[in-house]
Amino acid sequence: MKFSQKKFIGFSKEKQIKTLLEFIREIEQSWSNKGTRVDLLKELRKCLNYLNNNLADKIEMDLSIRDFHKIVIPFEQKYGKNLKDNDFLILDQDGSQQVIEKIPLFFILDNLRSSFNVGSIFRTAECLSVKKIFLCGYTATPENEKVRKTAMGTDNKVEWGRFEKTESAIKLLKDKNITIYALETTTNAKSIFDIFFKKPCALVLGNEALGISKEILKLADEIVSIPVSGWKNSLNVGVSCAVCGYEIKRQWERVVD
């Protein structure tokens, strides 16, 4: 992208801001290519000078990525949209780890409303090497663009299946002698740190607002919860999945089969 002073000044204020934000995004994505990065930094500085913006004086060609962020992120936060991981994470390091054997842990997503939470759980599942995810009810699948974006490629690395009813997924696993744990905040729930998770097992995760229905809770072998100390009595479902999933993996790694 190159703009003369006359052309850039002729843009509306909204388009000027949009253009500067696009420069920031392109510079980030091209950071490993020094030639492209320097060219884009020069153009960004030029456009900022057109506007007499004092950020222009801070843009140098030998900036580190961290210093660049210190300069541009306050501008981005003031004028840009709320960003998600897939908008800015650079994936050069992905794939450097050796793929390990899947662990016998299954996630059952019971009518999750947020596509972003589903994508986040796919990322967690891939990092944990979870065996399979069951997407139940109206839980979005990786066919949904928002799920794919948030999953950031992990939807192709984790096996998943879809069920109209959560009960069907639970029955399938129970028939294979897989213990079912429901992660829910109830009076009879046991702390995830006070029990030992049987191997193999499945973790049921419920709707963000409504939780897991009583009918599904009755099908679980055990109800577990994550102890909290704050005003809010529960964590986001994606965060809860990660906390509990890693606790299960930690327990299993300490036991020799």
Q: Quick one: CA dihedral 57, 66, 147, 98, positive or negative?
A: positive
Each domain of the chain, given as residue ranges in start order, spans: 5-83, 103-253
Query: Could you tell me which residue, 229 or 139, shows the higher pLDDT?
Result: 139
pTM for the full model? 0.72
Question: What would you report as the CA-atom Rg of the chain, rounded to the nearest whole angstrom?
Answer: 23
**Residue-averaged pLDDT of the chain:** 87
CATH code assigned to 103-253:
3.40.1280.10
> Which pLDDT score, from 0 to 100, does residue 78 have?
81
The CA distances from residue 239 to 52, 168, 181, 255, in Å, are 43, 25, 17, 25
Quick: pLDDT tens for 30-60.
898 999 999 999 999 999 999 988 889 999 9
Q: What does the pLDDT average to over 209-230?
A: 89
Quick: pLDDT tens for 2-30.
888 889 899 998 899 989 988 888 998 88
> At CA 151, angle to CA 210 and CA 248, rounded to 5?
65
Instruction: Say if residues 190 and 211 touch (Cβ distance below 8 Å).
Output: no
Cross-strand partners of 181: 203, 222
